[in-house]
């Protein structure tokens, strides 16, 4: 199975901060990576697909990038609505696997 190692597990930040979350795949996943945002009691919402493509309707402050097997989700200017938990997921091979999540908290 492909392991997705996400860091940090918790991140404290302020409104307006630039935030970066990293996800490292244990092997090549050909950029088949998605990022999701989940708020308490709600289903996840896709933000980024194919490593760097922005899902329709998602604010442009969210962006994704890749370098080899290391993937990054960046929020350019954190907004109050962005405090949530973020997950990466590979969909290159089976079983699909998620990172363990990054909780973005208010500093």
Partner 1 sequence: EVQLVESGGGLVQPGGSLRLSCAASGFSFSGYWMTWVRQAPGKGLEWVANIKQDGSEKYYVDSVKGRFTISRDNAKSSLYLQMNSLRVEDTAIYYCAKDRQYRSPSCYDYWGQGTLVTVSS
**Dihedral pair phi/psi, residue 56, rounded to 5°:** -55, 130
83 touches partner 1 (CB under 8 A): no
Among 31, 45, 61, 83, binds partner 1 (CB under 8 A): 45
Interface pick for partner 1 out of 37, 49, 62, 82 (rule CB under 8 A): 49
Q: Which position among 19, 37, 72, 87 is part of the footprint of partner 1 (CB under 8 A)?
A: 87
- The structure tokens listed for 43 are 């289903």
Sign of CA dihedral 52, 54, 46, 101: positive
Q: Give the interface segment with partner 1, choosing from 10-18, 19-27, 66-74, 83-91 (CB under 8 A).
A: 83-91
* Candidate ranges 23-31, 59-67, 69-77, 98-106; the one touching partner 1 (CB under 8 A): 98-106
What is the total count of residues that contact partner 1 (CB under 8 A)? 21
* Count of other CB atoms within 10 angstroms of residue 91: 14
**Residue 4 near residue 97 (C-beta atoms within 8 A):** yes
Q: Select from 55, 69, 74, 83 the one that contacts partner 1 (CB under 8 A).
A: 55
Residue 55 buriedness (CB in 10 A; 0-12 / 13-18 / 19+)? middle
């Amino acid at each position: 199975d492909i392991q997705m190692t996400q860091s940090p597990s918790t991140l404290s930040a302020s409104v307006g901060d630039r935030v970066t979350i990293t996800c490292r795949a244990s092997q090549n996943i050909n950029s088949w990576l998605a990022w999701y945002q989940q708020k308490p009691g709600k289903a996840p919402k896709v933000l980024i697909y194919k490593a760097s493509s922005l899902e329709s309707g998602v604010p442009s402050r969210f962006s994704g990038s890749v370098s080899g097997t290391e993937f990054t989700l960046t929020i350019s200017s954190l907004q109050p609505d962005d405090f949530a938990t973020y997950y990466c997921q590979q969909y290159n091979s089976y079983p699909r696997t998620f990172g363990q999540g990054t909780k973005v908290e208010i500093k």
